[in-house]
């Protein structure tokens, strides 16, 4: 029999349905990833983050039988987390907030189709790009975060956010165009 580390998330979930103590492996696999995701997307305190995570894992546990095995488990758990954060924002009467670092890898990846990728990134240009990213509508920020920080595919992002994959691609292209324009105006 394979060790638990070699099982896919979907296989671990199937085992959870038979033997509930396997759920600890789901928590082990996703606690750090989801914690980092929540921290980037919110101003939540460490206590609030712990509460959000607990709520996510409770919902996953309670709804294991409803998981559609034709989809990816990671998309499903991120969707639950995403909606749990939206609920938290509503309860706290806050607006969703995502702030990006002027991460050169992110910037070069977003700009890879343009000449902007060849621009040497001075601290001033990094600041302009960070401000441009931070000023984007939340719908664009959600996609950027899932694509470049969480490394989700277009299909996974579409599943998490419940939008068509073509919309994901369109939004990413718009972000690239916005960055190109901001850099052009700054140059």
Residue showing tokens 């950027």: 144
Instruction: Confirm or reject CATH 2.60.120.700 for domain 104-186, answering yes or no.
Output: no
pTM for the model: 0.77
Q: Are 11 and 62 in contact (CB under 8 A)?
A: no
Domain formed by 4-92, architecture: Orthogonal Bundle (1.10)
Q: Are 117 and 74 in contact (CB under 8 A)?
A: no
User: What is the full per-residue pLDDT of the chain (187 aa) written as tens digits?
Assistant: 457 888 888 999 999 999 988 899 999 999 999 999 998 888 788 999 999 999 999 999 999 999 988 889 999 999 999 999 988 888 877 766 666 665 555 655 655 544 444 445 567 777 777 788 888 888 888 898 898 888 899 999 999 999 999 999 999 999 888 878 877 776 6
Domain borders along the chain are: 4-92, 104-186
């Amino acid at each position: 029999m394979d060790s638990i580390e070699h099982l896919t998330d979907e296989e671990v979930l199937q085992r959870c349905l038979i033997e509930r103590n396997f759920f600890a492996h789901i928590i082990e696999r996703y606690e750090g990833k989801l914690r980092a995701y929540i921290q980037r997307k919110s101003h939540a305190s460490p206590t609030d983050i712990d509460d959000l995570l607990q709520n996510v894992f409770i919902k996953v546990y309670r709804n294991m039988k409803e998981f559609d095995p034709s989809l990816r488990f990671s998309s499903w758990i991120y969707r639950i987390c995403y909606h749990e954060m939206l609920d938290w924002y509503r309860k706290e009467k806050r607006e969703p907030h995502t702030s990006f670092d002027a991460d050169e890898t992110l910037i070069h990846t977003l700009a890879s189709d343009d000449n902007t990728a060849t621009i040497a990134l001075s601290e001033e240009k990094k600041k302009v790009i960070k401000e441009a990213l931070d000023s984007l509508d939340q719908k664009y920020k959600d996609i950027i975060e899932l694509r470049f920080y969480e490394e989700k595919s277009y299909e996974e992002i579409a599943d998490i956010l419940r939008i068509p994959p073509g919309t994901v691609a369109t939004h990413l292209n718009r972000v690239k165009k916005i960055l190109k324009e901001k850099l052009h105006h700054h140059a």
